Amino acid sequence: MSKISLQGKTAPILSLSDLNFIRRIIVKNWWILILLPLIAYVLGYLYTYRLTIVHKASTEFLIQSDDMYYKNNLVTDANFVNYSTYIDNSNEQRIIQSYDLISEVVTQLKAKLEVSYFIVGKVKTIEQFNGMPFLVEVSSMGPNFYELPFFLKIINSDKYELSYIVNNETKKIIGFFNKTLVTTDFIFNIHASDYNKQFQNNTLQNMLYKFQIHSNEKLISDIRSNLIIENPEYTQILKISLKDILWERAVLVLDTLYNVYSRSKLKSKLELNDRTLDFIDKQLSDITSSLRTIEDTLQNFKTKQSIIDLEWEKNDLFSKIADYDKMKSEVQLELRALKDLEYYIIQDKDPSFLPPSMYVFEKTGFMNRAVSELYEKQIELSRLTGNSTTDNPSVIDLKATIKSTKQNLLTYIVNARNAAFQRIQNIEMEVNAYTYNAKHIPTKQRGIVDIQRKSKVSEDLYNFLLEKKASTKIAKASIVPEVKLIESPRYVGVDSPNIPAIEKQFVTTGFFIAILIVIMRFVFFTKIESVEQLKEVSLLPLIGGLPKIKNQETEGIVTNEIPNSKISEAFRNLRTNLKYINVESELKTILVTSHAPGEGKTFTSVNLANILAKTGKKTIILELDLHKPRVFQRFGYNAPEKGITTYINGQHDINEIIIQSQIDNLFCMLAGPIPPNPSEYILSEKMHELILFVKKNYEFVVIDTPPAGILSDSLYLMQFVDTTIFVLNTKSATKRVVNFVNQIAETNKISTINLVLNEIRRASQRYYYKGYGYSYGYGYGYGYGYGNGYNNYGGYGGYGGYGGYRGYRNSETPKPPNT
């Protein structure tokens, strides 16, 4: 054991008395420290059992995946639309949580989500997703019945009883499985499932089921409020979690959510591709009509001019004119596309309506990139507008970007149009030049050449559009979603409540409450059970300790009946210690009191008087507990008809109330009849005269008085005695009681109060008083050592055990003599 130095000496940090103190607390309160946490754990278990368990499912998406079926020279080729754009993950999170997207999920899962099923138990109602013996199909229902609980009992395999409460009125309906139930409130069709056939009817009849029907708004709101989207830093991954009471339902919703979101990512690209194809088809249709017209014109011209075959002159000249006419047609087609795009930008139409014709002519450069960016930004703005307010920073920034892009496009369109007009002028100048040179060609020949030139131009443009149409269809096949599932929806565990943590809190709380109770018991209710404990709380002299014996309150004078017992030895120690309280003068008058009844003051009085008489000294005991006298019972007398009260009343003289007991040298002065005002007798002058008389005529006077904690009689009588013995009992002695005694001594400045601790337990030492059928606990007094060792108060420790002694006692109850 560690020690510390104190004035050159070493003292243990933790002394033996400290260890005994801790041991006493543990021994007396161990059951509290175990029982309360155990009770708290049971309460925590019952509390958590009734809680609704919320589970969690999770999945992970990879945004902007580069996976494509066909990539080279199509989507990424300069001749085609490049759909690869930057993905803003914060915007994607808003899109996934958008009302429209979740609404689509609910629509697809309505058959599984619309109705919630429950099994109603005595303690807890449990929601089920699968395994119910019936399924509810809702045909129609009033809006007031959404979220209303319906209770169902299965009567047999064909019938059921449906009950619900409307306007505080309980309605019950008997229905048949697999048949439509029609009421003014709703139309249901409750089907018997396969599980109904697997169970015995008596098993299902003993169970109560409940179901609730949810509106789309409720389902959408629940999913959105329990959907959690996280974006790990520096990644394009979205971790999506969903909390639900049923984990199977959460997994199903997440799986459907991925499919809906993936399709929504493809939608804009597919729509753009389809509109491009529609534009090409329209142009092909126009060119086909133009070719037919040219062919008809050529045939009519040949017929009218009677031309069968012509030899062309200056093929090179006409070939060049044809090439320039083709160039002029392409430029004019480009002008129409620029006009459509300019009209779209200025009119600010729905972003889904984007004229795709410029993709046919713009192969590379700013126009291609700017239009793609404008289209994607407008689609993104449309999505954000549905989920955010107009003052959202993302919406404001996106609008500014769109406006800037439009301004750049308009500027570019103006410049491109001017350049196209300039090219047309140049082409016309060249054509005019070649035409002028061809004036000498014969009129018929020139007419055929003009018609054939127009036909060639239309055929070339037709072939060009067919090529673009084929490329666009191939590009459509290569379009894949910009999202990839990298972790399938799966159950990840319980989200709330944290049952082990709650149970731990209950146990911890129970433990702290147990500690608090132990502290309160120690501070307010701890009983003093040994002389060591009594010394710790009081500085008053402790002159004796009496071992516990059975039936102490009803037993006679034990020290006379069993003189060699340890209880007798304890009283001898008490007698010895009384001699050493004041070595200068002998203490003759001794007052015995206690804090409350039942602590052993009368037991101590009569046995102390007996022990004093055994020394050959003339001793008398005064029964001054006039409220509840008990001394006469200890001597085996009947209630006396004369005594101290009759003396004070003047009915008898002092000598008439003195009784010679059956014990040598021991006399008694009993209380006599109990008066209506006992305290007035104590305060009388004759009582003072009586005490002076016995002090003068007897060598020892023992006065038994009422409990000081209830009556003040003993406090008054303390002024007439040499010393006071305050009896404390281990059954009731607490710090409060000891403080009461200390306060009496301090307040009244009484220095003659001495303490005696009664009923000290020593479990390992017992003997039996067989002669009378009583057993007395052995023990050695108040703990000053075994054998004949000299104790702290100048007395001797108790002797060794003595048992089997059969005492003698007169079977007849003696009566007090007349004198």
pLDDT tens-place string over residues 677-731? 999 999 999 999 999 999 999 999 999 999 999 999 999 999 999 999 999 998 8
Q: How many CA atoms lie within 13 A of 639 on its CB side?
A: 6
Mean pLDDT for the stretch of residues 653-678: 93
**Residue 441: its pLDDT value, please?**
57
> pLDDT confidence of 81, banded at 50, 70, 90?
very low
Lowest mean pLDDT among 140-144, 243-247, 467-471: 467-471
Q: Looking up tokens 């050529």, which residue turns up?
A: 298
Q: Which of 155-169, 357-371, 470-484, 706-720 has the lowest mean pLDDT?
A: 357-371
Q: Lowest mean pLDDT: which of 117-121, 166-170, 739-743, 783-787?
A: 783-787
Provide the pLDDT for residue 311. 53
Give the pLDDT score at 407: 84
Q: Tell me the average pLDDT of the chain.
A: 80
The answer to whether 632 and 622 are in contact (CB under 8 A) is no
Q: Are 332 and 479 in contact (CB under 8 A)?
A: no
- Characterise 173 by phi-psi region: left (phi > 0), alpha (psi -120 to 50), beta (else): beta
* Residue 789 vs residue 171, higher pLDDT: 171
23-27, 558-562, 807-811 — which is least confidently predicted? 807-811
Mean of pLDDT values over 160-184: 92
More confident residue, 74 or 271: 271
- Output the pLDDT for position 160: 92
User: Is residue 518 pLDDT above 90, yes or no?
Assistant: no
Read off the pLDDT band of 776 (50, 70, 90).
very low
Which stretch of 184-198, 367-381, 648-662, 779-793 has the lowest confidence by average pLDDT? 779-793
Say how far apart CA 650 and CA 638 lie, in whole Å.
22
- Quote the tokens at residue 328: 């002029």
Dump pLDDT digits (tens) for 444-477: 666 777 777 778 888 888 888 888 888 888 877 7
The confidence score (pLDDT) of residue 56 equals 94
Do 599 and 725 meet the contact criterion of CB atoms below 8 Å apart? no
Q: How confident is the model over 410-418, as a mean pLDDT?
A: 86
CA 473 to chain centre: 58
pLDDT of residue 455: 81
Residue 346 scores a pLDDT above 60: yes
Mean pLDDT, to the nearest integer, of 523-548?
84
Q: What percent of the chain has pLDDT over 70?
A: 81
* Nearest of 700, 711, 650 to residue 677 by alpha carbon: 711
pLDDT number for residue 757: 93
Tell me what pLDDT residue 164 has: 94
pLDDT of 274 higher than 90: no
Residue 537: per-residue pLDDT: 83
- Choose between 144 and 4: higher pLDDT: 144
Q: How many CB atoms lie within 10 A of CB 278?
A: 11
How much is the average pLDDT of 381-395? Answer: 75
pLDDT at residue 201 tops 70? no
pLDDT at residue number 502: 92
Query: Given a cut of 70, is residue 78 above it in pLDDT?
Result: no
Question: What separation in angstroms does the CA of 36 have from each of 50, 478, 499, 510, 788?
Answer: 21, 70, 19, 5, 46
Give the span between the Cα atoms of 715 and 368, in whole angstroms.
Answer: 114
- Which of 177-181, 295-299, 311-315, 702-706 has the weakest average pLDDT? 311-315
Token readout for 807 is 């005492």
Write the pLDDT tens digit of every residue in 65-75.
544 444 443 33
- Higher pLDDT residue, 636 or 762? 636
Band (90; pLDDT cuts 50, 70, 90)? confident
Pairing outcome for strands 9-12 and 3-6? antiparallel
Q: What is the pTM of this model?
A: 0.56
Average pLDDT over residues 196-201: 55
Mean local confidence (pLDDT), 651-664: 93
Q: Does position 443 have pLDDT exceeding 90, yes or no?
A: no
Q: Output the pLDDT for position 13.
A: 60
CA 785 to chain centre: 57
Q: How many helices (H) and strands (E) does the chain have?
A: 25, 25
CB burial readout 406-434, b (16+ within 10 A) else e? beebeebbeebeeebeebeeebeebbeeb
Name the pLDDT band for 224 (thresholds 50, 70, 90).
very high
8 A C-beta contact, residue 660 and residue 654: no
